[in-house]
Amino acid sequence: MSYKEIFSYKALIESELEKRVVQRDAPEILKKAMLYSLSAGGKRIRPCLMLEFYRCLGKNPDEILNFACAVEMIHTYSLIHDDLPCMDDDDMRRGKPSNHKVFGEDTALLAGDALLTLAFETACDIDENIDASRALKAVKYIADASGLTKMVGGQVLDLQAENKQISIEELEKIQEGKTAALLKVNAFVACTLANADKNTTKLFVDYCDCIGRAFQIRDDILDVIGDEKSLGKPIGSDEQMNKNTYVSLLGLEKSQQLVDELTDCAVKAIKKATENSENLCSLALKLANRDF
């Protein structure tokens, strides 16, 4: 068993994501734009985590594939909107031209809107084994995590911090919204749908929180020491854009130290949460030293 097991859900998720768009009666160019970003080859870490958590809770991951896809659609829409000229103005994403470079700003904007909306439609399309009232709670968690107080709020704080020196606390608040919320929601959703108790839920959430923060710090590190080819994006862009990062605030060494501490914390939490923690422990360790 290893972290690779977690990514074994990838094919299932990707085929379901594609199906949810391809089968709909919508303008071809819109579907193309949605699929372009949906199938741009992300790591699918969010939906894979959700399915693995659910498995750890003794349940069949197939039952909540729709929720996993919903979270990935939301992640994808946020990347499309982030890349727009009025936002980060990024021409490339995952080694390919960004959505608006291929489809134009108007269609890219609408493809993002459509993915966000489709996420909620997909989340509501529940398996017969799922309790409706728990499902409704899960959909609400997903909306909360992606909304004004979390993901979108984090984006706004990030815009405000541009070209400004901020504190490590302010940086953490930005990351909490921009990144951590959409990771933690996978724990909330899986635990809610599996009817896990409060304590177990908290441990899964803590795991997400720790690997999420470690992931972000490692991202900042890779923007300095990474390899453009394995990353699929140019390095040095944070410094060039004068962005506040963990590395700019703490330095390289202290940043990696923090990654290691957070990874340790993630491993401890998940071991307490479930007897089936092997894959998730392996994932936390892998992410701490990733170069992709």
Q: Which residues bind a second copy (CB under 8 A)?
A: 21, 24-27, 29-31, 34, 81, 84-87, 104-107, 109-110, 112-114, 116-118, 120-121, 124-126, 131-133, 135-137, 139-140, 143-144, 146-149, 152-153, 155-157, 159-160
How many of the other CB atoms lie within 10 Å of CB of 139?
20
As measured in angstroms, the least distance from the Cβ of 266 to a second copy is 26
Spatial CB neighbours of 142, under 8 Å, sequence gap ≥ 6: 67, 70, 71, 74, 119, 120, 123, 185, 189
As measured in angstroms, the least distance from the Cβ of 165 to a second copy is 19
Q: Which is nearer to a second copy, 181 or 265 (CB)?
A: 181
Q: Which is nearer to a second copy, 134 or 202 (CB)?
A: 134
Spatial CB neighbours of 211, under 8 Å, sequence gap ≥ 6: 183, 262, 263, 266, 283, 284, 287
In whole angstroms, what is the distance from residue 111 CA to residue 101 CA? 13
- Pairing mode of beta strands 96-97, 92-93: antiparallel
Backbone dihedral angles phi then psi of residue 114, each to the nearest 5 degrees: -70, -35
As measured in angstroms, the least distance from the Cβ of 75 to a second copy is 13
Helix (H/G/I), strand (E/B), else coil: 97: strand
As measured in angstroms, the least distance from the Cβ of 248 to a second copy is 22
In total, the chain counts a number of residues equal to 292
Q: Which is nearer to a second copy, 139 or 280 (CB)?
A: 139
Q: Which is nearer to a second copy, 52 or 88 (CB)?
A: 88
In whole angstroms, what is the distance from residue 235 CA to residue 7 CA? 26
Q: Which is nearer to a second copy, 58 or 147 (CB)?
A: 147
Residues forming beta bridges with residue 3, ordered by sequence position: none
As measured in angstroms, the least distance from the Cβ of 51 to a second copy is 21
As measured in angstroms, the least distance from the Cβ of 141 to a second copy is 9
Q: Which is nearer to a second copy, 110 or 196 (CB)?
A: 110
